[in-house]
Copies of this chain bind each other. A is one copy, B any other.
Amino acid sequence: MQSEEMTRCIESCLACYKTCLSMAMNHCLKMGGKHVEAAHFKLMMACAEMCRTSAHFMLIGTPHHKHTCRECAEICTECAKDCERIGDMDECVTACRACAESCQKMAA
């Protein structure tokens, strides 16, 4: 149904969605301080939503997935950088980088 590359990208998107949502809700809210800065927290939530949507578009099998993948790569890259700045967010940095790389290929 999907190319191998698309199957991998769906996995990367859902992995990043899981990590961003779960870390925001269970790590950031517990840590407090800079972890709940509005700009950081909103970016985490936007990243989770975009990854979820990007996976959804690839599962639908619509050619518009190229555009959602491009936007997903952009948000993930920004989220990875912001998680590095905040610190103590290694799992999220890794998931965002992997998803950005995978989405970049699909967007091309």
Contact-size category for A: 35 or more
**How far is A52 from B57 in the complex, measured between Cα atoms in Å?**
13
- Tell me which of B14, B43, B64 contacts A14 (CB under 8 A): B14
Please name all residues of chain B whose beta carbon is closer than 8 Å to the beta carbon of A30 when the two chains form the complex.
Answer: 38
Known contacts A56-B49, A60-B21, A41 near B67 by CB under 8 Å: no
Contact in complex: A71, B64 (CB < 8 Å): yes
22 contacts between A and B (CB under 8 A): A1-B27, A10-B18, A21-B56, A21-B60, A25-B38, A25-B45, A25-B61, A29-B41, A29-B42, A36-B36, A42-B61, A42-B62, A45-B62, A46-B60, A46-B62, A46-B64, A49-B56, A50-B68, A52-B52, A53-B53, A67-B71, A68-B71
